[in-house]
């Protein structure tokens, strides 16, 4: 049976793709049979005449993971907007059964799955109000929450934890991205630990020379090798 975790964020642009890529780097370096999965992606680049999810392209470049795009990104929208609007504009409704079938293939082919969300938890995937937290709950993943280090992160992180619990999701840990160790950031982490009640929090420093949109990985691999104990992450994953 495969084990997996779903990378969620307090907002868009907080570093979910970076964390997904870094974890894939660590898993594959240890020769764990691992896959990246992003059910719904808004924002694409055209490669060989095919629209490829920008996030998936970055993860594959950074980690060396190779798989057909239709299996790892079932729904790729060219417009970098909320998935419900992108689906409407491109007239391609998000079909949960297709997502489940692609995930089943990955579960049968890989031992570890790193899944990544689109934006924050309360993101609609269609015009009928089907939310990203509904999808995560149906797929049965536990979650790893990525948050910013600076001002505003206490509010965003605690609210996301509360929303996740209300939606029936299990957050196994929090990763603070872009951490510099300043006094306000140290206090942010301490306060989040106290208020959110999540026992596992990892601080990820700023990664130099990285640009996910342009496919520039910088020193991502080195930072994750220094900052993360892969066994700790694997302990967070649950059987799917």
Distance, in Å, from the CA atom of 177 to the CA atom of 236, rounded to the nearest integer, reads: 18
Enter the tokens of residue 52. Answer: 């490829």
Q: What is the CA radius of gyration of the chain?
A: 17
Q: Are 126 and 84 in contact (CB under 8 A)?
A: yes
In the annotation, is 61 catalytic? no
Give me the catalytic one of 16, 38, 107, 172. Answer: 38
- Which sign, positive or negative, has the C-alpha torsion 197, 186, 233, 73? positive
List, as one string, the DSSP characters of 34-91. Answer: EEEE-SEEE-EEEETTEEEEHHHHHHHHHH-----HHHH-SEEESS-S-HHHHHHHHT
Nearest to 204 by CA among 146, 159, 117: 146
Q: Are 143 and 116 in contact (CB under 8 A)?
A: no
DSSP β-ladder status, 3-9 and 112-120: parallel
Phi, psi of 37 (to 5 degrees): -140, 125
Instruction: Return the active site residues.
Output: 38
């Amino acid at each position: 049976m495969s084990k997996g975790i779903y990378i969620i964020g307090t907002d868009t642009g907080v570093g979910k793709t970076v964390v997904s890529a870094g974890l894939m780097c660590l898993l594959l370096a240890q020769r764990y049979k691992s896959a990246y999965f992003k059910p719904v992606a808004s924002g694409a680049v055209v490669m060989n005449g095919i629209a490829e999810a920008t996030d998936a392209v970055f993860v594959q470049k950074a980690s060396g993971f190779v798989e057909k795009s239709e299996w790892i990104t079932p729904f790729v929208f060219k417009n970098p907007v909320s998935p419900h609007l992108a689906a409407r504009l491109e007239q391609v409704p998000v079909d949960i059964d297709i997502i489940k079938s692609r995930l089943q293939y990955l579960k049968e082919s890989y031992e570890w799955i790193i899944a990544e969300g689109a934006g924050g938890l309360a993101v609609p995937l269609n015009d009928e109000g089907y939310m990203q937290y509904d999808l995560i709950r149906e797929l049965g993943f536990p979650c790893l929450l990525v948050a910013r280090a600076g001002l505003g992160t206490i509010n965003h992180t605690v609210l996301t934890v509360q929303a996740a619990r209300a939606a029936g999701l299990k957050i196994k840990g929090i990763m603070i991205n872009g951490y510099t160790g300043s006094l306000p950031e140290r206090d942010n982490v301490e306060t989040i630990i106290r208020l959110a009640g999540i026992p596992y929090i990892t601080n990820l420093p700023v990664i130099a020379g990285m640009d996910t949109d342009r496919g520039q990985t910088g020193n991502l691999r080195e930072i994750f090798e220094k900052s993360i104990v892969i066994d700790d992450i694997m302990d967070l994953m649950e059987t799917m």
